[in-house]
Amino acid sequence: MGSHDFRGRHKARIAVDPGEVVRQPDRWKVELWLTNVGLSHARRVRVWLEDEDGASLCDEHRVRQPLMSGGESESIRLVVPRHGRSKIVARPVRKWRDGRDVPLKPDVSDQRITLE
């Protein structure tokens, strides 16, 4: 087995599925479902939303416990201030540590969530 195959066994991958979006006068509350679909646990998981220019739209949410490989999905809620905006397109971003125990770059989702 090559070293690349070995490293792959220690890799976590977090899928994000949008849930309910609640519009309030001054903010949106956005539910996201996080699932570790990789082969290793994911620790120190942080999630936030960015606009299409890469600007952060909300505070970073830290998941309390590791997301285990093949484990249950976990629901989180992010609060996005409206700042007078009637509509915005957001994309989920997540960052974590896995079995390789190296800091990973933020993983920006291709998904778009329209808040209106």
Q: What is the pLDDT of residue 98?
A: 80
pLDDT (tens digit, 9 = 90+) per residue, 33-86?
999 999 989 999 999 999 999 999 999 999 999 999 999 999 999 999 999 999
- CA-CA distance, 116 to 73, in Å (whole number)? 26
Count of domains in the chain? 1
Nearest to 33 by CA among 86, 5, 74: 74
Residue 10: CATH number of its domain:
2.60.40.2550
Looking at the chain, the whole-number percentage of residues with pLDDT higher than 90 is 76
- Whether pTM > 0.85 for this model: the answer is yes
In whole numbers, what is the pLDDT of the chain averaged over residues? 89
| Domain span including residue 11 | 3-115
Place 15 in a pLDDT band, splitting at 50, 70 and 90.
very high
Residue 12: exposure state from Cβ atoms within 10 A (0-12, 13-18, ≥19): buried
